[in-house]
Amino acid sequence: RRPIDQIPVQLVMTKSLISIYPDATLPQTCELLLENGIGGLAVRDEELYGVVTKWDLIKHFAQTSTELPVSEIMSDFVAVVHRRHSISHILQLMEAEDVDRVVVLEYGEQPIGMITNSNLTFACMSGADAGSRKMFELPILAEDIMSTPLTTIQKDGLAIDAAHKMVEEQITSIVVVDEDMYLAGILDQECMLQAIIMTGE
Predicted confidence (pLDDT) per residue in 19-67, tens digit: 999 999 999 999 999 999 999 999 999 899 999 999 999 999 999 999 9
d(CA 147, CA 149): 7
pTM (two decimals)? 0.83
Show the domains of the chain with their CATH numbers. Answer: 4-62 (3.10.580.10), 70-189 (3.10.580.10)
Tally of residues, the chain: 201
State yes or no: cis peptide before 139, omega within 30 of 0: no
d(CA 38, CA 189): 11
Asked if residues 58 and 192 have their Cβ atoms less than 8 Å apart, the reply is yes
Predicted confidence (pLDDT) per residue in 148-193, tens digit: 999 999 999 999 999 999 999 999 999 999 999 999 999 999 999 9
Q: Residues 6 or more apart from 148 whose CB is under 8 A from it?
A: 112, 113, 114
